[in-house]
Structure 1
């Protein structure tokens, strides 16, 4: 590594830097080697050899915003920031799960967004506006600006490409930087984006929690239990699985499924092969757009109901609290002991009640018992400018040559693909030419961010690079089948299509070969 010069970023970044000592040479990795930036504290710096030699830097900026910056020995001149998950609180870098970025030489960073804690806990936000703003948008912006300055000085060269990739909360962070920090990244991937915290995570999910567990003190037995869930899922697949020409447990387009939940309702004599009136009502609400507090949010696509789907209804919507059985939700790298999780029956119930307690009403004892959404709109409006990335105006990002890929899994049991479609269509309604710089992919058979029976191995980092290099927007992308743990290809694959096109089977080809599929836009 060459001797480094002092950072000179005052004009562009409004920060100054103190020069490194001349002894900083290749192969060394300690705190003294990391450029010093005002209001940034380097806590540790250590050499890590796997999966490729790199310097792992942990630091804090501002009051308490933590970041983890990884600097490969063999840098390729590029930078990718990875988004986090849930309520953040640890170093959960989405970029590390998407591709072999360290082996390929990318410098990368992620942030805990200004607090430490379990990803499904929001008690840190209680009456703390700074933390709420950091979580909403400021921590990602400041971490990106700071990291880019450190990287350029550490290697003594300018960064040649800047990407942001994230899924779930990270997908919402991706949309936020495209809307609010358009100068930071040329390419952005926003997967299964948690972008409308007030409407979806607080409002819609509270509505669903009240349906599934009418008594907030009794959260062990959901209205739709395991037997009812299996009945619904099996009935949907029995009716709709082969509509796309394949019996594979995947609905290429759930909108083509005309299954009626009411067809499963019990007659005068109930059994385990039919649904009660309450179960039918709750299931119908899950599938439809519902109104609450003067607004509304779409329901879930059909196809994520089967109990064997690890990121479908069982984890997100039905579930039921079991003592000692914590949800394994967005695990990340955290110093110290594992963070404690409150008793929750499923993930959406947990996020909804945490949002209402610590953001909406600033009351740890808040409960939805008797709640009627009467003042929901007031609190949603108060918080929206901090938390929601719902602006369809991407003109600033596009003017700088930015390219944005959105995606969602059709089998995502949490963040509805219909909500992501709505945002994409809002973007095009705002400016139809945005189609030149923004693409949306809805992945058949894929659950939340990844996994499920569908092929989920699309390399979105490579897709962004190809788009930026060629200037040609992708209309379809390769989707290999991969191992859910190692993320290595297991052989075969299909394609995914840019919305509104639908993945279409040719009727007789090998379903594990991409050439057996094409993209067709419905008439």
Structure 2
């Protein structure tokens, strides 16, 4: 791992040790390295001369007064660099770009900020945290972010997939490159390596976290992986499955193209979710209009199916069938599951992912606008492929090759576990883009591999978040301090228990239960507990 405790604080050089062993280890930094203000400009500029294989440092800049949203950032140096610059397929320029922010008052910790979508841009490396928590840079972490090996027009531009190396860079290689150069830069800048290294990310950033644990076991001491897209190649089978199900019942425009947003009216979805609450609310022991155990919900929409003409107080039989179909998950003609089912959760982002808002062609939901299946996940890539024409008998095989560089669903965490790494995984059960059940299945596979839930909980803990959509949003409480819990686990050996979480609609406080424990209402104490 990256822990250098045995070597002490090291030779300080330009850096001055301002807080040493007096505070000990803890969730708050017990030590720090401070760069003197009168020498900070020269210190930052000097980093432009750092030499490293296949690296070009593009810029260094000292920032003393910067805001991130409404948050004031501490004085820090921003370094931008590019690695492995090259010309690829069709003479397109590729490189792995990154931004590393080095605070003048450093807590001797490294923080890799996970990406999102298909990446393609260098996001400000402020240390994006779990919902409601301050950026890691404000707490003294040195933070890096990366474009994952390519430049895109936006976070959904997947055209880089035409280049074989760019696929691998995006899948895992850029993660390795940027981690290595960042730690070397920190060694040069502060005259010491980071004592601890963390990766925090969600969605694709969550996948990066589990990829790091499975491929690069010694890179990070602690990882937070939110809503991880761990089976991304098979997840695109679900994309096509949802499109087919919605297109079958959606009205058509004048040219016969399906308008997915109109497959269900708002009144339809309101009715569906109200009936879902009526059927599944009480599973947690309290009927309060909230489903806190979505995984136990076996929803049957038949009570609200119209017996006659369609009205706002009922849905059609085909609407009911399609809703169940997308939740049961993609299957082939033999009934074999091609991707995990989705939980029945009334706080889900169903409209966003399955329908969208466009009232004319083209559809604008993420399923319809996603081009990754054509460029990145089909082998060979097929830029002209129509996801609406996906063949569930033959086309899934074309996605298998991409699993080699993109999947992070292996239950083999032996090396990470042996190295002492810790990982916190969280996933909203209302996520209609990436199934929380897929994450549960992966975790259950680890329980089978290591013999018990307790054995897995020694290094990996899973938290399910009812009512929360993809990464965040929805109606469920989502505000929790994952980073402090992870740091306490890594540095103090205090494993996280059931974590307090707040927020949601209505605003409420609950406990995030360590899987496989579940939320239950205890009438005796008039409170929710985990058991």
Aligned to 1:275: 315
Q: Does 1:119 align with 2:155?
A: yes
> What SS does structure 1 have at the residue aligned with 2:302?
helix
Aligned match for 1:84, one of 115, 136, 159: 115
Aligned to 2:231: 196
Whether the 8 Å CA contact 1:213–1:221 is kept in 2: the answer is no
Change (3 A) 1:91 1:344: farther
Aligned to 2:35: none
Superposition deviation, residue 471 in structure 1: 2.4
Superposition deviation, residue 66 in structure 1: 1.0
> What SS does structure 1 have at the residue aligned with 2:324?
helix
Aligned to 1:97: 129
Superposition deviation, residue 300 in structure 1: 1.7
Superposition deviation, residue 40 in structure 1: 1.1
Aligned to 1:451: 473
> What SS does structure 2 have at the residue aligned with 1:95?
coil
Aligned to 1:263: 303
TM-score with structure 2 setting the length? 0.81
Aligned to 1:316: 353
For the aligned residues, what is the CA RMSD?
Answer: 2.7
* Alpha-carbon distance in structure 1 between the residues aligned to 2:377 and 2:362: 19
Aligned to 1:13: none
Aligned match for 2:377, one of 311, 336, 359: 359
Aligned to 1:400: 419
1:154-303 matches, cutoff 5 A: 154-200=189-235, 202-214=236-248, 217-219=257-259, 221-246=261-286, 250-292=290-332, 295-303=337-345
Aligned to 1:3: 14
Whether the 8 Å CA contact 1:441–1:497 is kept in 2: the answer is yes
Whether the 8 Å CA contact 1:358–1:364 is kept in 2: the answer is no
Whether the 8 Å CA contact 1:212–1:222 is kept in 2: the answer is no
Change (3 A) 1:43 1:300: same
Q: Gaps (5+ residues) in structure 2?
A: 1-11, 16-37, 67-72, 86-94
Whether the 8 Å CA contact 2:122–2:145 is kept in 1: the answer is yes
> What SS does structure 2 have at the residue aligned with 1:103?
helix
Whether the 8 Å CA contact 2:107–2:140 is kept in 1: the answer is yes
1:317-396 matches, cutoff 5 A: 317-321=354-358, 343-351=362-370, 353-360=371-378, 362-396=381-415
Whether the 8 Å CA contact 1:169–1:194 is kept in 2: the answer is yes
Residues 101-146 of structure 1, C-alpha deviations (whole Å, 9 max, x = no match): 1121000111111122211221222x20111111111111111111
Aligned match for 1:477, one of 494, 499, 520: 499
> What SS does structure 2 have at the residue aligned with 1:466?
helix
Aligned match for 2:485, one of 447, 455, 463: 463
> What SS does structure 1 have at the residue aligned with 2:100?
strand
Count of residues in correspondence between the two structures = 464
> What SS does structure 1 have at the residue aligned with 2:127?
helix
Q: Does 1:110 align with 2:150?
A: no
Aligned to 2:19: none
* Alpha-carbon distance in structure 1 between the residues aligned to 2:13 and 2:241: 58
Whether the 8 Å CA contact 2:376–2:402 is kept in 1: the answer is no
* Alpha-carbon distance in structure 2 between the residues aligned to 1:292 and 1:151: 51
Whether the 8 Å CA contact 1:219–1:320 is kept in 2: the answer is no
* Alpha-carbon distance in structure 1 between the residues aligned to 2:384 and 2:115: 28
Superposition deviation, residue 2 in structure 1: 4.0
> What SS does structure 1 have at the residue aligned with 2:342?
coil
Whether the 8 Å CA contact 1:85–1:169 is kept in 2: the answer is yes
Superposition deviation, residue 508 in structure 1: 7.3
> What SS does structure 2 have at the residue aligned with 1:291?
coil
Aligned to 1:26: 40
> What SS does structure 2 have at the residue aligned with 1:413?
coil
Q: Does 1:60 align with 2:63?
A: no
* Alpha-carbon distance in structure 1 between the residues aligned to 2:138 and 2:388: 52
* Alpha-carbon distance in structure 2 between the residues aligned to 1:205 and 1:90: 24
Whether the 8 Å CA contact 2:467–2:475 is kept in 1: the answer is yes
Superposition deviation, residue 286 in structure 1: 2.0
* Alpha-carbon distance in structure 1 between the residues aligned to 2:319 and 2:203: 28
Whether the 8 Å CA contact 1:94–1:167 is kept in 2: the answer is no
Q: Does 1:47 align with 2:65?
A: no
Q: Which moved more, 1:141-150 or 1:267-276?
A: 267-276
* Alpha-carbon distance in structure 1 between the residues aligned to 2:142 and 2:436: 31
